[in-house]
Amino acid sequence: MPASSTLCLLLAVLALRQSSARLLQASSSSSSSDSIPSEWITGIATNYGGPSEGKDPSSYSWGTIDGSCGYGSLNKQAYPFWSVAALSTSNRFYKAGPANGCGECFEIQCQNSGGKFAGRCNSDPSQQSATVLITDSCPECEADHIDMQALTFQKIAPMLNGRIDIKYRRVECTPPVPVKVQIDGNSGPGRWLRLSVTTNGGSGGVRSVQVKGPNSGWTGLKNLYGAAWEIAQQPQLPIDLHVTADSGQEITAFDVITKSGQKGTVSTGQQFNFNGPPSYDEASSIGESSSSASASSSSGSSDSDSSSGSGSSSSSASSSGSGSSSSSSSSGSDSPSSSSGGSSSSGSDINPDSIQSSIAKGQSSSSSSSSGGGREVSTH
Q: Average of pLDDT values for 315-329?
A: 38
What is the C-alpha to C-alpha distance for residues 323 and 178, in angstroms, rounded to an integer?
9
- Ranking 44-53, 65-74, 328-337 by mean pLDDT, the lowest is 328-337
pTM of the shown model: 0.71
Residue 228: the pLDDT is 94
What is the C-alpha to C-alpha distance for residues 195 and 206, in angstroms, rounded to an integer?
13
Adjacency order of strands within the sheet including 264-267: 222-225, 228-231, 193-198, 180-186, 264-267
**What are the pLDDT digits (tens) for 209-268?**
999 999 999 999 999 999 999 999 999 999 999 999 999 999 999 999 999 999 999 999
What 3-state class would DSSP assign to 228? strand
**Model confidence at 56, in pLDDT bands (50, 70, 90)?**
confident
Residue 378: the pLDDT is 56
What is the C-alpha to C-alpha distance for residues 194 and 184, in angstroms, rounded to an integer?
6
Which range in 64-78, 269-283, 289-303 is most confidently predicted, on average pLDDT? 64-78
**What are the pLDDT digits (tens) for 5-42?**
555 555 554 444 443 333 333 333 333 236 899 999 99
**Model confidence at 59, in pLDDT bands (50, 70, 90)?**
confident
Give the closest residue to 245 by CA, choosing from 369, 75, 102. 102
**What are the pLDDT digits (tens) for 176-224?**
999 999 999 999 999 999 999 999 999 999 999 999 999 999 999 999 9
What 3-state class would DSSP assign to 132? strand
**Model confidence at 98, in pLDDT bands (50, 70, 90)?**
confident
Which position has the higher pLDDT, 105 or 341?
A: 105
Strands 206-212 vs 129-138: parallel, antiparallel or unpaired: unpaired
Strand residue runs (E) in the chain: 41-48, 84-88, 105-110, 129-138, 145-149, 164-171, 180-186, 193-198, 206-212, 219-220, 222-225, 228-231, 239-245, 250-257, 264-267, 313-315
**Model confidence at 376, in pLDDT bands (50, 70, 90)?**
low
What is the C-alpha to C-alpha distance for residues 38 and 246, in angstroms, rounded to an integer?
14
- Ranking 99-113, 142-156, 190-204, 336-350 by mean pLDDT, the lowest is 336-350
Residue 271: the pLDDT is 96
Residue 65: the pLDDT is 77
Q: What is the mean pLDDT of the chain?
A: 75
What is the C-alpha to C-alpha distance for residues 34 and 339, in angstroms, rounded to an integer?
26
Which position has the higher pLDDT, 137 or 367?
A: 137
Residue 245: the pLDDT is 96
